[in-house]
Amino acid sequence: MLDTEAYERVDKSQNKMDKGYANGAIKFKRLFEGKYARFSAKSKVVITASSIATAGASDYGVQSVIFGTLKAVADEMGIKLTHKQLSRGVPSIKTLRNWEIDLAGGCLAQVIEQIRKDAARMRKWGVKLEITLVTDHGN
């Protein structure tokens, strides 16, 4: 005998999941409706960190991977998008570079804050911590 209360709970849970998936699909499709996609700050970090982690990939290669990934996800979700619409979801090389600078700045700020906290603890023992920044001119 089937427990009707349990069935109703599962049914309600499934309906919530279905609505969540539908809302996700709608949000995904809306990314491609404007002049260019407006990714959330979190998505920008994920895309940027992933592109930085691709050893030796050119900016054009990163764009190709982003395009292919968006196309595959759209196809899996059953969302029909033209290549022109999909291309709006691919950040330009200038945008990718700006996102890298933003991410690097955020990482640097976190590291400096951690060093600052460590320096405050180290002063108890008479240790002085200093910060030196060395760059390789964008490479």
Q: pTM of this prediction? A: 0.66
Work out the average pLDDT over 69-90: 89
User: Is the predicted pLDDT of residue 47 greater than 50, yes or no?
Assistant: yes
User: Is the predicted pLDDT of residue 64 greater than 50, yes or no?
Assistant: yes
Residue-wise pLDDT tens digits, 22-37:
777 888 888 888 888 7
- Residue 33 neighbours by CB under 8 Å, 6+ apart: 85
Which helix (H) or strand (E) is 38 found in, with range?
A: none
State the pLDDT at residue 30. Answer: 83
State the pLDDT at residue 71. Answer: 92
Work out the average pLDDT over 55-67: 87
User: Is the predicted pLDDT of residue 1 greater than 50, yes or no?
Assistant: no
Average pLDDT, rounded, for the chain = 81
State the pLDDT at residue 26. Answer: 82
State the pLDDT at residue 93. Answer: 92
Q: Where are the domains of the chain?
A: 4-112
Rounded to whole angstroms, what are the CA distances from 85 to 34, 47, 81, 93?
A: 9, 19, 6, 18
Which helix (H) or strand (E) is 121 found in, with range?
A: helix 93-122
